[in-house]
Amino acid sequence: MYKTSISQVPIESVQMEGVSKTNIQWLLNKPRTPNFAMRRYQMEKGGTIPLHSHSWEHEMYVLSGTGLALEDGKEPLPVKVGDVLYIEPYELHGWEQTGDEVFTFLCVIPHPKE
């Protein structure tokens, strides 16, 4: 059994183009885990992740705060603590922090196929 904590995992700034005020922690990852990685995102006030897509899916759980889930050609979808989201492979998606609280969520992804 391996145990760590959000207080022990390094916090990194997300470097993707157009992203602002967003940090990531890789809580569990290769080579320790065989199938999927667990990450924790923290979006500060004004934080944005613009619409983008990729070949892997997301399974997400909102831990704190509020935000908007952005979809291609649709109204942004308000999300809050206890909400659960599934983003399909290749589906366009993005995020915006809203309100005064840090918007925090877990995002689980499969390891890249080698």
Binding site for its own copies (CB under 8 A): 1-7, 9, 27-28, 32-36, 38, 57, 59, 61, 63, 69, 71, 77, 79, 82-89, 91, 93, 106, 108, 110
Closest distance of CB 51 from its own copies, Å: 12
Q: What is the Cα–Cα distance from 60 to 43, expressed in whole angstroms?
A: 14
Q: What is the Cα–Cα distance from 111 to 114, expressed in whole angstroms?
A: 9
Q: What is the Cα–Cα distance from 63 to 56, expressed in whole angstroms?
A: 22
Q: Quick one: DSSP state of residue 10?
A: P
Closest distance of CB 100 from its own copies, Å: 21
Closest distance of CB 112 from its own copies, Å: 12
